[in-house]
Amino acid sequence: MAQIAANAPAPAFRPGPATAEMPHPGGEHRVQTRHTYAAVDLGTNNCRLLIARPSDEGFTVIDAFSRIVRLGEGLSQTGRLADHAMDRAVAALAVCADKLRRRNVSLARSVATEACRRAANGRAFVNRVREETGIVLEVIPPAEEARLAMLGCHKLLEPGDGPALIFDIGGGSTELVLVDHVEGIPKIRSWWSAPWGVVSLTESEGREAIEGDDRLLAYRRMRERARRSFESFASTLPRERDDIRLLGTSGTVTTLASVHLALPMYDRRAVDGLHVPIAAMHEISTMIAEMSFEERASLPCIGAERADLVVAGCAILEAILEIWPAANLGIADRGIREGILRSLMARDGHVL
């Protein structure tokens, strides 16, 4: 099983830092560097931006942006990024570029994941983004994607000494990371990237099947497809299952947690760091799989934008729960972007 270091170096783009003259007790002035950091995460389904500055609590977010762009729409059938999908992504990245300039960001890293890794025209798209927005996208491998997700959310793990599984259900792939804590520091023991995310699994089954009269059969097929993709990794997991912990970061888990809480609208403060009993997550997943598109869309924390993809997310989640039967599921509304920010700040000497 492949191993990746939790402190692996991360490349970054460095424009000139912002500076401010600070008065010195002796009357002289010293110039103090004040970096503003940014992370851009372009996934198969979403485009996300986070801009922050270091603080005593870790970092303070000063701007953020998120938009569903569905960059990987149709990729599983054609092997290429569609023109309209690229247009949506470029438009979202142009918004990110404007925010980077207006916030005087001095250190940024912009990454792209499964859709750009898999697409035959992924490199051409990256070149287009650079030419039209100025953003230089780094197409990262699955190992780096898993590492960044872990760095971004591991602090939300339940207390305990047992091994922990952290997962990120994306649009085009799902990353699983087995973590141990050594003297309070997370150490990655092994990781796995499966080729199923909410977009790719939905397209593999077909929306007609997911929405048809036999939709529960379609759901079981998706869950089995996801389970099979985890089999090799599952065979390497510890057989001793005492005190195991589970933490998920993705739109799927935050959406299901919102349904669990019956929130009238999404509230990050209520969801981030929540721990939900596994039995409740199974019940919610089955309930959503049984619903029609209209019924799912009527749930305030799902809505029409997520109603067609959330069923695949439930199938992947249940497959993960099968291979790692923890008592509770930790919910993280944080991940790759936060992992990027922590990496960049740590390299500049900030203790997070």
Contact 60, 51 (CB under 8 A): no
Residues 307 and 162 in one domain: yes
Residues 229 and 318 in one domain: yes
pLDDT 10s digits, 71-111: 999 999 999 999 999 999 999 999 999 999 999 999 999 99
Residues 63 and 100 in one domain: yes
Residues 213 and 329 in one domain: yes
| Cα angle 342-96-94, degrees, rounded to a multiple of 5 | 150
The CATH number covering residue 299 comes to 3.30.420.150
> What are 60's two structure tokens?
């303070």
Residues 294 and 155 in one domain: yes
Contact 330, 246 (CB under 8 A): yes
Provide the number of structural domains found in the chain: 2
Q: Is 214 exposed, middle or buried (0-12, 13-18, 19+ CB in 10 A)?
A: exposed
> 3-class DSSP state for residue 319?
helix
Instruction: Output the CA–CA distances (angstroms, integers) from residue 264 to 41, 223, 253, 270, 288, in the order listed.
Output: 28, 29, 17, 12, 17
Nearest to 41 by CA among 196, 249, 192: 249
Question: Which of 88, 119, 140 is the C-terminal boundary of a domain?
Answer: 140
Residues 165 and 94 in one domain: no
> 3-class DSSP state for residue 300?
coil
Query: Which positions ≥6 away from 177 have C-beta within 8 Å?
Result: 146, 147, 149, 150, 165, 166, 167, 188, 190, 191
Residue 192 inside a domain? The answer is yes
CA dist., res. 237 & res. 199, Å (int): 27
pLDDT 10s digits, 42-68: 999 999 999 999 988 789 999 999 999
Residue 235 pLDDT = 94
CA dist., res. 341 & res. 152, Å (int): 8
Q: What is the dihedral of CA 321, 326, 329, 334, to 10 degrees?
A: -90
Residue 9 pLDDT = 37
Contact 6, 151 (CB under 8 A): yes
Task: Chunk the chain into consecutive blocks of 10 residues (it has 352) and report each block's average pLDDT, rounded to whole numbers.
Answer: 35 36 40 77 97 89 96 95 98 98 96 97 98 98 95 91 93 95 81 95 95 96 97 91 91 96 95 97 97 95 93 98 95 96 89 64
Domain enclosing residue 113, as ranges: 37-140
Residues 150 and 267 in one domain: yes
CA dist., res. 341 & res. 167, Å (int): 19
> 3-class DSSP state for residue 73?
coil
Question: Which of 123, 140, 157 is the C-terminal boundary of a domain?
Answer: 140
Global pTM value:
0.86
Residue 351 pLDDT = 65
Residues 184 and 295 in one domain: yes
Residues 230 and 171 in one domain: yes
Residue 11 pLDDT = 35
- DSSP of 27-44: S-EEEEE---EEEEEE-S
The order of strands in the sheet holding 58-68 is 58-68, 46-55, 37-42, 107-112, 138-139
Residues 192 and 280 in one domain: yes
Phi and psi at residue 219, to the nearest 5°: -65, -45
Residue 62 pLDDT = 96
Residue 29 inside a domain? The answer is no
Residue 66 pLDDT = 95
> 3-class DSSP state for residue 48?
strand
The CATH number covering residue 107 comes to 3.30.420.40
Residues 102 and 150 in one domain: no
Residue 330 inside a domain? The answer is yes
Residue 193 inside a domain? The answer is yes
Residues 151 and 76 in one domain: no
